[in-house]
Structure 1
Amino acid sequence: MSRAAIVPDAARVAGISLMLMIALGSGVALAGRSAEQSAKAPPQAPKLPARAQPIRHDFTLTGPMVQGGAIIGAAPTGTTALTLDGALVPMSDDGRFLIAFDRDAPPTAMLVATMPGGMVTRALVIAPRAWNIERLDTLPRFAQPTEEFNRRRPQELAAINAARSVNAISNGWRQRFQWPVIGRLSGMFGAQRIYKNGEAGSYHSGTDVARPTGTPVVAPADGVVILAADSPFTLEGNLLMLDHGMGLNSSFLHLSRIDVHVGEHITQGEQIGAVGMTGRATGPHLHWSLKWRDRRIDPLLIAGPMPAAR
């Protein structure tokens, strides 16, 4: 092989070596920058997509489907309007709602969800209950009202109805209710007296808890004060009312004092007043009643069995 043939090969080798050195140098520089960047900003974990809400094709209902009971439900996904026996039922943003059945509710009800593609219906069967009925066949139904009662009562009823017309914003309806006071149950929801000539008196609209005057009363769930009597009403005495949202409200009767004011947002367990015997009461006790729209609810079904006194 001639020298002329060898020289070009050597040049090519030198050129390749130079190219390798440049490439290696660039690699080192890039590796150095990568290490520097890693030290300054560690790699982030990939973001996972937000978990989608489950699609509901039917209603979900939780609670006792009986007279005096209340149910929390969720409407099918995409529901634009919800009705119970033809009356509109409000829904929260997540499609949840509250419905209730009066003490004398009929045996069936119809729940209807309207959607862009049609309707979903659910026939509800409301179980009957046996109520404590007391017969007083020798007594007239009504005692003669006093002139003062006749004068004051219309204004009191107007104040109560006005309070119940308020639609306060509260999520108390979603909570598990607690008893506002712990004690002996002295009067049960739904009890009723039958008087002379078979005339029926109004049934007992709430639950009575016997406790000494001054015993603290707490909020059974979050709510907004919608009525706090300035002076005792003729029947209810010092009356306090809380709106728990979605048309559900509590009333506390015969209080010895009221510790909150109209418009206050109250949290569950917060003291709101004290047991007393103001108004028409024969002894110190708390009368607690619950109402959803025009339907009265049994507090025992909402708060559960009375806990043992401490």
Structure 2
Amino acid sequence: MKVPAAEPVAPSPLPTPTPSEAAPTPAATQQIQPHFTLTGPITQGGALLGTAPEGTTFLTFDGESIPVAPDGRFLIAFDRDAGDSATLVARLRDGREIRKELTVSPRAWRIERIDSLRPRSQVSDAWRRRRAGEIEQIVAARAMQTGAEGWRQDFLWPVTGRISGLFGAQRVYGGEPASYHSGIDIARPSGTPVLAPADGVVILAAEQPFSLEGHLLMLDHGMGLNSAFLHLSRIDVKVGEHIRRGQRVGAIGQSGSATGPHLHWSLKWNDARIDPLLIAGPMPAAQ
């Protein structure tokens, strides 16, 4: 059976696009601004993971140069006594600068005011010389660049238990403030295993107890972030060893200046001391 040919139909004219439907012009495309992405609390003692704007060649944080990973990721943190604002500036390969102003929220620290004057301890010249050497080792360790990638990870608690000392707590004697507590204390029996909170490289492992810290272990997590574990009874790793998150690195003790067995865990990013509680999250139930 022969199918009759269809009659030709004139094509309908295409509708003229409205301005909102029109394809974007090159000028409109150029108006899209690159931006920062940030994750974490913008507060005293907090740390942020960020991604720099696409095309960033140089990044500063309050005027200081900040390293940026090949994928654009970076880390910044705020000291316990950080001011109320901070500025990120990214310089792009086309010469533009992208600025981001950060409002840093204050924290209410635990302050204990004591009417009497601060007790003074008598120390010998020999102790001062010993202490100076210990501080030199700590400063040299923190200056090491290992390329560790633990800064990208979710941190876990190196040990679980009762928190017996909070980061930032401070005593004021007769109006004179003493040094604030630079880490967090977790009370557990001597011998309790201590785990690495994130990947890292051992940058200090004090075989001989330091005068204050006792057996001190330090891990570099990369990008200027490092952990310190104080008062250990034992250190199970060596300087230069690459450590995995959750790996056993030592055991709780009360070496150095400690009145009982506990772990003092402190975190530092460059010169900023930061709160482990904000990095690892709420303390889980003790295992």
Aligned to 1:161: 139
Correspondence 1:280 to 2:257: yes
Partner-residue secondary structure (3-state), 1:249:
strand
TM-score, structure 1 normalization: 0.81
Give the percent of matched residue pairs that are identical in Structure 1 and Structure 2: 64
Residue 227 of structure 2 aligns to a residue whose secondary structure is: strand
Q: Equivalent residue of 2:177, what SS? A: coil
**Corresponding residue SS for 2:226:** strand
Aligned to 1:92: 69
- Bigger fraction of residues in helix: 1
State the distance in 2 between where 1:208 and 1:149 align: 25
Deviation at 1:150, TM superposition (A): 1.4
Query: How far is the alpha carbon of 1:141 from its aligned partner?
Result: 5.1
Contact 1:58 1:75 (8 Å CA) reproduced: yes
| Cα gap change, 1:56 to 1:171, in 2 (>3 Å) | farther
1:184 is matched with 162
The alpha-carbon deviation at position 161 of structure 1 amounts to: 0.1
Name the CA distance, whole Å, in 2 between partners of 1:171 and 1:245: 6
Question: Structure 2: 5+ residue runs without aligned partners?
Answer: 1-31
1:143 to 109, 116, 121: 121
CA distance in 1 between counterparts of 2:172 and 2:275 reads 21
Distance 1:262-1:81 versus aligned 2 partners, 3 A rule: same
Q: In structure 2, give the amino acid aligned to 1:178.
A: L
Give the counterpart of 1:302 among 269, 279, 284.
Answer: 279
Deviation at 1:56, TM superposition (A): 8.0
8 Å contact 1:254–1:281 — kept in the other structure? Answer: yes
SS in 1 for 2:53: coil
Equivalent residues in 2 for 1:148-227, closer than 5 Å: 148-196=126-174, 198-227=175-204
What is the aligned residue count?
A: 255
TM-score, structure 2 as length reference: 0.87
Q: Which residues in structure 2 correspond to 1:106-145 (within 5 Å)?
A: 106-117=83-94, 118-140=96-118, 142-145=120-123
Q: Name the SS of the counterpart of 2:163 in structure 1.
A: strand
Is the contact between residue 238 and residue 279 of structure 1 (CA under 8 Å) also seen in structure 2? yes
Q: Distance in 2 between matches of 1:260 and 1:116?
A: 43
Deviation digits for residues 99-158 of structure 1 (CA, Å, limit 9, x no counterpart): 000000000001000012310000000000000001122132532224442121000000
Structure 1 stretch displaced more, 285-294 or 110-119: 110-119
Unmatched 5+ stretches in structure 1: 1-54
How far apart, in 2, do the equivalents of 1:141 and 1:203 lie?
16
